[in-house]
Amino acid sequence: MYAGCDRMWSNILAIIAMGFAGFAYCGCMTAVIDMSPTFAGTVMGLSSTLASTSSFIFPVLVGFMTNEKVSM
């Protein structure tokens, strides 16, 4: 569904998406504990570090791809 610039539909879709993300995150947490109960903290720390690199790498990549021009 495309919300466009409609504030209400954007908020509704964001709330639904975050709700489903919460379900997925619970599955990831229990899988790590099941696979390695002894090193669950270390494994979660490493996987969270790798997963969070996208939050600062992708904006830089988009800046390079758009030549740092505003595209909206």
pLDDT in tens, the chain (72 residues): 666 778 888 899 989 998 888 887 777 778 888 888 899 889 889 988 988 888 889 888 888 888 867 666
Q: Rounded to whole angstroms, how far apart are CA atoms 25 and 17?
A: 12
User: Domain-by-domain residue ranges, the chain?
Assistant: 1-35, 38-71
Q: Rounded to whole angstroms, how far apart are CA atoms 6 and 64?
A: 29
Q: Rounded to whole angstroms, how far apart are CA atoms 4 and 20?
A: 21
- Give all strands (DSSP E) within the chain, no chain letters: none
Report yes or no on whether pTM surpasses 0.75.
Answer: no
Q: Rounded to whole angstroms, how far apart are CA atoms 17 and 3?
A: 13
Do 32 and 43 contact (CB within 8 A), yes or no? yes
